[in-house]
Structure 1
Amino acid sequence: MDFLHSGLAAIQRHLAFVAVDPIDWKFYVQAFSWTVTLFESYLLLRQYPLYSKTSPPESLARHIGQEDFEKSQKYGKDKAQFALFSKLFSQCIDSAMLQYGFYAWCWKAAGSILGKFGYGGDYEILQSIVFSFTMYLLSSLPTLPLSVYSTFVLEERHGFNKVTPGLFISDLLKGWLIAFVLGAPFLAAFLYIFQWAGDRFVPWLMGFMISFQFIMVILYPTVIQPLFNKLTPLSDGELRSRVEGLAGKLHFPLKHLYEIDGSKRSSHSNAYFFGLPWSKHIVIFDTLMQQSKPEEVEAVLAHELGHWYYLHPTKMMAISQIHIFSILALFPAFLHAPPLLRSFDFPKAVAARPPTIVAFLLFQMILTPMEAFISIGMNAVSRHFEWEADRFACELQDRLKEESMTDMGDRLGRALITLHVKNLSTVWVDWLYSAYHHSHPTLTERLKALESFQAKRAKKE
């Protein structure tokens, strides 16, 4: 532990200038955030001309009908136009809030609200909670019309939306309530660790955040998910038999197999698993079961079990922990930096003893360009995991010595095509746009890889 703290102290010595140099951090954050936004807009403009193509890629021509292709092109074009407007609109709002002291005003407003209840400035954690939720609610209001348009115009136009106005409002209020019920105690514990551990907070905070993630693995399916969707045990039949048989052969610790009413909100489809290492739950969207045959859904789940077999969720969690550790290792220098708060319009009295939550918020803004690069790396790792999971499905026959799984690769390919067609997913994708935005390979890439996996298997035989 001393070695760890010595290394962290060395980092802080290199960043000591942050606490004394009068750097115009507001200008840098404005420049950083606009640079990222303009780069993302450039990527959209690179992708946009591809929606004018009149036929699918040659490798997909035999799989996707012309009518389905034209629908996906129109959907992609509409989404791109909306995404470009949303991105620039949201950036203008964020930039205005930054420029005109919105965050300093929220901190002052939180203090005023607490003052009416007899709480003074000594209650930093309580003021931080009020500050966070004041900021969250007020900053979300300007972009609320974008969510309304996306749901009731864009998704409705292309036949995906199933949400009623009442359900939309209900989901919004439930989301705010959950954010407060879970966020307030999390934030209180988060900030208490800073007070208790001082500048040696990093290992303790890491332990707390890992523990919180495990708690959420339990709370989300049992408490949060039922507030939005109904999970029911998958009824007996061919699909259940196939999934349970596959899980048993792979020794996957399946505890529950659920069907979820995804059609309540959208026509999009999916399947996933979650849970603790010794107790897993598989969830299948009702839309997926309606759109695909049982043997194709089994192939999709074989892919998902490939993620489990290769420990992909665990590996991604480990990578994310390294990422979080790196961020926390840099933070102490910004935690004790009055010039940082002064450059964002906080009064001298507040900047002299920077509130932890405020310093952390501004610190995250400074990291904006770094986070953009990290997302590219994370997507690359995710795509590699997708290749491995696809290959796992193709090789199931060899692993399990089951002749009935000889065509698993073909089944997975058909399922992927169905998912893309029904979800109107884009089949023409710019490589740079994909590298930045996509955590999954494109359909063309996955089908080519599946054919390659199966060709290699055939040669071995």
Structure 2
Amino acid sequence: MELLVAFIEKHILGAILLAIWLLYFWDHYLTLRQRALMQRLVDLPKSVEGLMTKDVYDKARSYALDRNSFGIVQGIYSKVFNTIILVTYGYYHAWQWSIEIAKLCGINHENDILLSAICMFIINVLSHIINLPLIIYDTFVLEEKHGFNKQTATFFIKDEIKKFAVSQVIALPLLCGMIWVVKIGGDYFFWYLWILLVVVSLFMMILYPEVIAPLFDKYSPLPEGELKQKIEELAASLKFPLYKLFVVESSKRSSHSNAYLYGFYKYKRIVLFDTLIKGYCKKDDNDASKDCGCETKEILAVLAHELGHWKHNHTLKGFLFSQIIFVASFVIFAKLLRYEPMYSAFGFVDSQPIFIGLIIVTMYILIPLYAIFSFISVVISRRFEFQADEFATKLGHGESLKAALLKLQKDNLGYPLFDKLYSSWHHSHPPVIQRLEAIDKNK
């Protein structure tokens, strides 16, 4: 046993790299299984006949294959960069740069909290620069090719700057607060750390839709008319405390469609993407997406599904499950906080910064645990989706929900067929064919 412990201590970095690449190859294997299925099904499969035309199927298949190829490139790109960062002691160098920057700025370079904030900012800048080529390709090549991208270069640049700025304004103070809690929290700091995260999470649930989201997209009250009246009637029939009803101008970003609910207690909001509402967006005659969107009955069915999530407390259950992950992570972090071999493996021989320890534990050592939690989360989420569909069906929206699912499948060029193993690992939402079959059984 002692020999095993000594071996692990000596090869911590190697074990982490092995875990990273094993999970990558597993995911890559699943991706190739799905790719092989799509490449094999060139002609319209009989199981899809009646659900979509051959033309739509061909477009959906082409889009899915392109996204699959992009996912393969993205996966190898990120893993290679991550490996380079680890074997060259990238985090150690980032920490040393933080010390030098602090000295240049006249900041106390022995202050763990300030150094952590500087180091995190450096890491975030470098990470964004590394990922930017993939983001640009995804937006302006892949999505553009299939008619989804609506962003101009100017819009994209402004959007990326705003995203980065907002994320730093939130993340850096939160990190400083976490480091402070660890330093003063004693032996049971992990409980205080968890409480801090719960409070911040709840606060962000209020702040994000009210303050942050409008920085990126325009939110407007849904105009008076049949759709608004029907939605209010549906909400009232279920005693859903609808406070406001918005339309978000997502068409400037993408032609993909969605709808969601948010809010606490008696202040619930419903948000519809303008691309979800047929005829709502102002499109020119050459816009291929001008006939996209759902009719009133179909939108009501989609919202009945979302209200099913509310009725079954799926959001609360998901939040509680995430807290299990947080607590487990912080307990393990507390156990390993002063574990010297862990820091040495990342190049920190003479120091043990709390921030670096947090990165090592949560981003690397807990990779296998997060993979298990992720799979469990997918299984739970799929069950929630079926429950929400059943709820909408029992309200009498079954046929309209089926029609909406098919329209959204068509509008978003969703490929309808999946390898079972790939789907069970990746899809938090069941494939549309499974959902349609379940809706028919629940009528």
Shorter-chain TM band: over 0.9
Matched, 1:254 2:237: no
**Letter of the structure 1 residue corresponding to residue 435 of structure 2:** R
How far is the alpha carbon of 1:117 from its aligned partner? 2.0
Structure 1: unaligned runs, 5 residues or longer: 1-13, 397-405, 455-461
**Letter of the structure 2 residue corresponding to residue 302 of structure 1:** A
Give the distance between the partners of 1:78 and 1:20, measured in 2 at CA: 43
Partner SS state of residue 277, structure 2: helix
1:318 to 296, 317, 320: 320
2:12 is matched with 25
**Letter of the structure 2 residue corresponding to residue 369 of structure 1:** P
**Letter of the structure 1 residue corresponding to residue 10 of structure 2:** I
Give the distance between the partners of 1:119 and 1:206, measured in 2 at CA: 29
Asked if the contact 1:19/1:338 (under 8 Å) is kept, the reply is: no
Give the distance between the partners of 1:111 and 1:198, measured in 2 at CA: 26
1:230 is matched with 218
2:421 is matched with 432
2:194 is matched with 206
Asked if the contact 2:251/2:274 (under 8 Å) is kept, the reply is: yes
1:419 is matched with 408
1:10 is matched with none
Matched, 1:375 2:374: yes
**Letter of the structure 2 residue corresponding to residue 119 of structure 1:** I
Matches within 5 A, 1:435-454: 435-454=424-443
How far is the alpha carbon of 1:250 from its aligned partner? 0.6
How far is the alpha carbon of 1:349 from its aligned partner? 2.0
Q: Quick one: structure 1 residues 117 and 372, their matched pair in 2 at CA, closer, same or farther if it must change by over 3 Å?
A: same
Matches within 5 A, 1:194-343: 194-290=182-278, 291-343=293-345
Give the distance between the partners of 1:299 and 1:200, measured in 2 at CA: 48
Q: Work out the percentage of aligned pairs sharing the same amino acid.
A: 36
Matched, 1:39 2:26: yes
How far is the alpha carbon of 1:56 from its aligned partner? 4.3
Q: C-alpha offsets along residues 63-114 of structure 1, whole Å, 9 cap, x if unaligned? A: 2111001000000001101110110011101110111011000000011101
Asked if the contact 1:18/1:333 (under 8 Å) is kept, the reply is: no
2:69 is matched with 81
Higher relative contact order (CA 8 A, sep 6+): 1
Structure 2: unaligned runs, 5 residues or longer: 279-292
How far is the alpha carbon of 1:55 from its aligned partner? 3.9
2:361 to 363, 369, 383: 363
How many positions carry a matched residue from both structures?
426
Give the distance between the partners of 1:18 and 1:254, measured in 2 at CA: 57
Partner SS state of residue 232, structure 1: strand
Asked if the contact 1:57/1:427 (under 8 Å) is kept, the reply is: no
Matches within 5 A, 1:48-127: 48-52=35-39, 53-127=41-115
Give the distance between the partners of 1:81 and 1:105, measured in 2 at CA: 34
How far is the alpha carbon of 1:191 from its aligned partner? 1.2
Give the distance between the partners of 1:257 and 1:39, measured in 2 at CA: 43
Asked if the contact 2:120/2:172 (under 8 Å) is kept, the reply is: no
Asked if the contact 1:161/1:265 (under 8 Å) is kept, the reply is: yes
Asked if the contact 2:222/2:247 (under 8 Å) is kept, the reply is: yes
TM-score, normalised to structure 2, is 0.93
Question: Cα RMSD over matched residues?
Answer: 1.7
Give the distance between the partners of 2:8 and 2:135, measured in 1 at CA: 41
How far is the alpha carbon of 1:21 from its aligned partner? 7.3
Asked if the contact 1:57/1:428 (under 8 Å) is kept, the reply is: no
1:5 is matched with none
How far is the alpha carbon of 1:118 from its aligned partner? 2.2
Give the distance between the partners of 1:121 and 1:21, measured in 2 at CA: 33
Q: C-alpha offsets along residues 201-234 of structure 1, whole Å, 9 cap, x if unaligned? A: 1221121111111111111112111111000000
Give the distance between the partners of 1:82 and 1:54, measured in 2 at CA: 20
How far is the alpha carbon of 1:142 from its aligned partner? 1.9
